[in-house]
Amino acid sequence: MSLRGRYGLIRGWRVVPASQVSLRARVGLLAFAGVILGVGLAVGGGYYFAQRELHQEVDQFLARRAHAVSEVLENPSGLAQQRQRGARPVIGRIPLADFDAQVQILNAAGRPVFAVSDVPLPVGADDRLLAVEGGEPLRRTVTLDGQRYRMLTSALDGNGAVQVARDLGETDRALNDLLRRTIPLGVILATVAAAMAWLLARRALRPIEQLTSATERVAQTKELAGTIEATRDDEVGRLARSFNSMLEALQTSRRQQQRLVADAGHELRTPLTSMRTNIEHLQRVESLGEEARRRILVDVNAELRELGDLVAELVELASETGAADEPLATIELADLAEGAAARARRRTNRDITTVAEFAGTVQGQRGSLERAVDNLVGNALKFSPEDTPIRLVTSGGRLEVHDCGPGIPTEDQPLIFERFFRSAGTRSEPGSGLGLAIVKQIVERHGGRVWAGASPEGGAAVGFEIPTGEADDH
């Protein structure tokens, strides 16, 4: 079993792996653990500081008693000669037997010579050294007959030392009472706080549960039209709005896909029908003339080329080939225009010229932009007479292709970049109707726009514009 699976929530007699514990349970348990930790730190800290304060008070009491003894005691060695059976020893006006502490006097050699104590106080090497040489008082906690005492050894002004001890039973009882009161109170507070945290977590996570239900419903029904109510302004509200945006994008993508499939099916039907008719004609007629057979084969070959071009453009339009793999580079549109014009001149021997009005660079994918310019030039060559010129004009991030053809009707200008669109006057022309749609897709991927209008030469002017800017090659 992996380490991750070993830790989880104990439910009944089995341990549930952490990955299977609900988010609500995790939040509740985390809040409960935080409250328990906070209460534990509060109780422990309170107990520590209370113990420290009480011990300081005991140490101050012992210091006062030791000081009182040292003020009136002149000769510790003579105390042993003054003791009589039944007599109450007195130092000055202080009856030692009435002290609320255990008292023991050490002579200059560090030996006990007098004591008012129920138990003999321990004398260590440090105590003896203090009685002989003097120095700072010594404090420690000792155990006598099973009872804890706080003891102070202080040097006398003359010679010797005084030991004062006080029973810590009262202090320990006060601390135990403090624990007995604070621990149950801490448990109650932790339980109440954990319950409140659980309820708050449940309330806070309710929108996420609703969002989860909505996503599961979309996954089951495949229905993208529904939206999730997003009235909150917090993180959950932003998540809901993001999910709604994703649904809208998916719905738009589905509509475009359905439209592409429908349009592609319609466009594929024409060349396939023509090829099937020609092939059936070849099969039915056994004795065809050489000219008729050649004409049919030419038609089939043309339909095959058109079908191949259509399939290739469909694949490129649907998958955006090269959009993710091709690196970005700083490109001169004038160079792209000159390259496209040179390729078209080699293929067609047409009069194709370029004009660069202003220099400018764009950041883009060279291969994709070359395809866009080639499509614009090919569109102009298709719809303009062979003896008329084609002109490419660049200005910064703007590129236009002018021809001398029939032009584009005003009502059709906003539509020519749509997939499979053909105006009424061009439906008999060969082509798939996808070339300009590919141009639009490439340009919009580069953050630009496309347009179509009338050319000063009398034909059409079709082009695009991309934001300019220098950029390092990637």
Phi, psi at 398, each rounded to 5°: -110, 135
Please check the confidence at residue 291 and state whether its pLDDT lies above 90. no
Strand partners, 390: 352
> Do the beta carbons of residue 186 and residue 39 sit within 8 Å?
yes
Q: What is the rounded CA–CA span in Å between residue 308 and residue 110? A: 115
Highest mean pLDDT among 153-162, 294-303, 375-384: 375-384
pLDDT tens digits for 356-367? 988 888 988 888
Identify the residue with better confidence: 125 or 209. 125
**Local structure of 114: helix, strand or coil:** strand
Per-residue pLDDT at 464: 95
| Angle (deg, nearest 10), helices 169-221 and 23-72 | 170
Section 316-324 average pLDDT: 55
Helices (H) and strands (E) in the chain, counts: 10, 16
CA torsion through residues 394, 395, 398, 402, sign? negative
Q: Take residue 168 and report the two structure tokens written for it.
A: 């810590």
Section 100-114 average pLDDT: 83
pLDDT tens digits for 39-55? 788 888 888 888 888 88
H/E element, 335: helix 333-348
Instruction: Using alpha carbons, list the distances in angstroms from residue 314 to 300, 311, 426.
Output: 21, 5, 20
> Do the beta carbons of residue 9 and residue 16 sit within 8 Å?
yes
> Do the beta carbons of residue 403 and residue 455 sit within 8 Å?
yes
Please check the confidence at residue 260 and state whether its pLDDT lies above 90. no
Identify the residue with better confidence: 149 or 236. 149
> Do the beta carbons of residue 170 and residue 189 sit within 8 Å?
no
Section 370-395 average pLDDT: 89
> Residue 468 has what DSSP assignment?
B
Q: What is the rounded CA–CA span in Å between residue 373 and residue 365? A: 12
pLDDT tens digits for 209-223? 777 777 777 777 777
Length of the chain in residues, anyone? 474
Per-residue pLDDT at 168: 86
Per-residue pLDDT at 427: 46
Q: What is the rounded CA–CA span in Å between residue 474 and residue 471? A: 9
Strand partners, 316: none
Q: Indicate the pairing of strand 161-167 with strand 102-106.
A: antiparallel
